[in-house]
């Protein structure tokens, strides 16, 4: 075991390093490596441990001849090309949950600092002033906090806020009503949250649906004097729109730890406003959190090399190595089905039923069900969801999960059908493998389709009338947006139709709203299937 060599390319607490050394590994700590040097060194190592600074790109992975595992001390994996690692058979693991308390506490600290204007008062005093009448604050007692996304971080923030006698309302399309009741949180739709909240904090990932979720139109629905916090991901709040709202005092104050572009430029307009406070993406930066994630990733690496356990793996389930090649195509299909479901439907998710028909029903399907959950929960949670914690996250959120084997696979060798129940509605998506390796979506509710589940897609539900496809194509053409693939399915002539368009890139802002206003258009959904294994 002493032959195992581990490269630690970002700073890691000594407690984590000690665990690796004690296990008999050779550990080299080389931080702030230029990319060229990393490319030169990486072929010599069996494992790589990073935080957020090192960029583990496809070319780094291609050069890593011996690499078996990449460990991220933290939850975010934006800096790791996970699909490239998966193709090379390299396990990617992270430490979800290690930053939960710290990030929630930082959010609460930002709320206190914003409502009591502490940074501004400190700056005033350091300038030699005593402006006691200038810094009138806002009391949190009995105020309503609106939390967008109740994952681990949003949930812990809710608990902290309730301790201050605040009311907590939340928008979370996949939080079961019963679970919300247990948390003492009232689930509402987004317009109601905007209308009722005195303070709003966002805790979602950055996706096509959440980008610019808070913009000028959203702010117009909010209470005058609302306060906004973003310690999740830059880009969820439209910074230019927020600047105008802060300047006019429509939004009384805002506090950000994250930005659309980081590091933020010194001349950024938001930094000129007295009612805007900020920190440089330090939500997870406490000694305790850094020790938690360092110890966590070190123990996971040791377990992987000594026991074969891939704890915290985001791209490998816990199945025997000899079964993985046969399961891998189905794992990919199952996760894509869940990922698609998550972005199509809204409502408090109460039940997920996964039905396996045909050849797939003869396999060990438990990992496939976990892959469905991973896909289903990934787009809606700020916290990282992986093959290890997906069932736990579902249980915490009050989601009932059922597996069913059997049923008719029809003309296909195997079919995986995922049915979700969201209170008053039931939706299903089915998929299969072509040539036992290429995933296809073959049903979306009542529509028979044949969709390659990859990249960016737009799904348009419309009335079956002449001219709809042409009108949509015209809008896309006018904005120089190329259509990669397109198909249309309908219930019956003159009824409802589903138009599915594959895009080469995400839609620019404004194009979506233009399409939604089109004649005969009932709804438009943007889907990003580039995530996952």
CB-CB contact of 314 with 72 (8 Å) = no
Question: In CATH terms, are 1-98+284-316 and 100-278 the same topology?
Answer: yes
Residues contacting residue 81 through CB under 8 Å, at least 6 positions apart: 56, 57, 58, 61
The bridge status of strand 47-50 relative to strand 5-8 is parallel
- Tell me how far CA of residue 154 lies from CA of 145, 422, 496, 511, in angstroms: 11, 21, 38, 31
pLDDT at 258: 95
Class of domain 1-98+284-316: alpha beta
pLDDT at 533: 47
Distance CA 50, CA 69 (A): 11
Does pLDDT of 454 surpass 60?
yes
Which helix (H) or strand (E) is 145 found in, with range?
A: strand 144-148
The pLDDT tens digits for 342-391 are: 888 877 788 999 999 999 998 889 889 999 998 888 776 655 677 767 78
113-118: list long-range contacts, CB under 8 Å, 24+ apart: 113/255, 113/277, 114/227, 114/229, 114/253, 114/254, 114/255, 114/277, 115/139, 115/140, 115/199, 115/227, 115/253, 117/253
Q: Report the CATH fold assignment for 321-451.
A: 60s Ribosomal Protein L30; Chain: A; (3.30.1330)
DSSP string for residues in 65-89: SS--EEEESSS--TTB-HHHHHHTT
pLDDT at 378: 78
The pLDDT tens digits for 36-69 are: 999 999 999 999 999 988 999 999 999 999 999 9
Model confidence band, residue 506 (pLDDT cutoffs 50, 70, 90): confident
What is the CATH architecture assignment of 100-278?
A: 3-Layer(aba) Sandwich (3.40)
Report phi then psi at 294, rounded to 5. -70, -50
CB-CB contact of 447 with 489 (8 Å) = yes
DSSP-based three-state secondary structure for 92 = strand
- Tell me how far CA of residue 467 lies from CA of 464, 470, 495, 500, 520, in angstroms: 9, 5, 15, 15, 9
Distance CA 249, CA 80 (A): 40
**For the chain, domain boundaries:** 1-98+284-316, 100-278, 321-451, 454-533
pLDDT at 18: 96
pLDDT, mean over the chain: 90
Average the pLDDT over each of 51-55, 126-130, 204-208, 244-248 and give the range with the smallest value. 204-208
Angle at which helices 366-377 and 324-344 cross, to 10°: 30
Q: Which of 51, 117, 179, 233 is catalytic?
A: 233
pLDDT at 99: 85
- Residue 233 is a catalytic residue: yes
Distance CA 67, CA 477 (A): 45
Q: What is the mean pLDDT of residues 282-308?
A: 91
Distance CA 294, CA 162 (A): 31
pLDDT > 70 fraction of the chain, expressed in percent and rounded: 96
pLDDT at 1: 44
Residues contacting residue 300 through CB under 8 Å, at least 6 positions apart: 71, 93, 95, 311, 312
Q: Within 10 Å of residue 307's Cβ, how many Cβ atoms? A: 9
Q: Which of 131, 178, 261, 262 is catalytic?
A: 262
Residue with the bigger pLDDT between 119 and 262: it is 119
Residue with the bigger pLDDT between 174 and 170: it is 170
- Residue 106 is a catalytic residue: no
Does pLDDT of 247 surpass 90?
yes
- Residue 281 is a catalytic residue: yes
Per DSSP, helices labelled H in 259-323 are 287-307
Q: Within 10 Å of residue 498's Cβ, how many Cβ atoms? A: 21
Average the pLDDT over each of 2-16, 101-115, 233-247, 274-288 and give the range with the smallest value. 2-16
Q: Report the CATH fold assignment for 454-533.
A: Alpha-Beta Plaits (3.30.70)
Residue 119, judged by CB atoms within 10 A of its CB (0-12, 13-18, 19+), counts as: middle
Nearest to 236 by CA among 271, 208, 211: 211
pLDDT at 388: 64
Q: Which of 88, 195, 281, 440 is catalytic?
A: 281
DSSP E strands in 435-495: the ranges are 438-444, 447-451, 456-463, 483-490
pLDDT at 396: 79
Q: Within 10 Å of residue 52's Cβ, how many Cβ atoms? A: 16
């Amino acid at each position: 075991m002493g032959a195992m060599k581990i490269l630690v390319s970002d700073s890691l607490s000594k407690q984590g390093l000690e665990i690796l050394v004690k296990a008999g590994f050779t550990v080299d700590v080389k931080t702030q490596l230029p990319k060229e040097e990393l490319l030169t060194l990486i072929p010599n190592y069996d494992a790589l441990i990073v935080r957020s600074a090192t960029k583990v790109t496809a070319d780094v992975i291609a050069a890593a001849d011996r690499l078996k595992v990449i460990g991220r001390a933290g939850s975010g994996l934006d800096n790791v090309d996970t699909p490239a690692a998966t193709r090379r058979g390299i396990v990617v693991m992270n430490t979800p949950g290690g930053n939960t308390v710290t990030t929630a506490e930082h959010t609460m600290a930002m709320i206190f600092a914003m409502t009591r204007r502490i940074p501004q008062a400190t700056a005033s005093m350091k300038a030699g002033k005593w402006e006691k009448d200038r810094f009138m604050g806002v009391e949190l007692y009995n105020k309503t906090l609106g939390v967008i996304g109740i994952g681990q971080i949003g949930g812990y923030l809710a608990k902290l806020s309730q301790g201050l006698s605040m009311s907590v309302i939340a928008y979370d399309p996949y939080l079961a009503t019963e679970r919300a009741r247990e948390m003492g949180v009232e689930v509402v739709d987004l317009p109601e949250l905007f209308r009722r909240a005195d303070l709003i904090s966002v805790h979602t990932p950055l996706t096509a649906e959440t980008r610019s979720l808070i913009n000028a139109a959203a702010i117009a629905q909010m209470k005058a004097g609302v306060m906004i916090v973003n310690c999740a991901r830059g880009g969820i709040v439209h910074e230019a729109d927020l600047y105008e709202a802060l300047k006019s005092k429509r939004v009384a104050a805002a506090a950000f730890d994250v930005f659309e572009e980081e590091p933020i430029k010194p001349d950024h307009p938001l930094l000129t406003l007295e009612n805007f406070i900020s920190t440089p993406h330090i939500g997870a930066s406490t000694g305790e959190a850094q020790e938690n994630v360092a110890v966590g990733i070190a123990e996971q690496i040791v377990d992987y090399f000594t026991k074969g356990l891939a704890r915290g793996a985001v791209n490998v389930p816990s199945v025997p190595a000899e079964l993985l090649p046969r399961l891998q195509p189905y794992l990919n299909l199952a996760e894509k089905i869940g990922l698609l479901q998550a972005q199509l439907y809204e409502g408090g998710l109460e039940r997920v039923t996964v039905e396996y028909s045909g050849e797939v029903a003869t396999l060990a399907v438990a990992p496939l069900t976990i892959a469905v959950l991973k896909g289903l929960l990934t787009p809606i949670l700020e916290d990282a969801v992986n093959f290890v914690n997906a069932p736990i996250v579902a249980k915490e959120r009050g989601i009932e999960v059922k597996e069913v084997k059997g049923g008719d696979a029809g003309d296909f060798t195997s079919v995986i059908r995922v049915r979700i129940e969201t209170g008053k509605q039931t939706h299903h998506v089915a998929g299969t493998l072509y040539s036992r390796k290429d995933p296809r979506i073959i049903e979306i509710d009542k529509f028979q389709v044949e969709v390659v589940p990859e990249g960016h897609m737009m799904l348009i539900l419309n009335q079956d009338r002449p001219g709809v496809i042409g009108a949509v194509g015209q809008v896309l053409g006018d904005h120089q947006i190329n259509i990669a693939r397109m198909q249309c399915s309908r219930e019956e002539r003159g009824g409802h139709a589903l138009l599915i368009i594959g895009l080469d890139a995400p839609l620019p802002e404004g194009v979506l709203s233009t399409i939604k206003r089109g004649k005969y258009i009932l709804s438009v959904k943007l889907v990003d299937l580039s995530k996952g294994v």
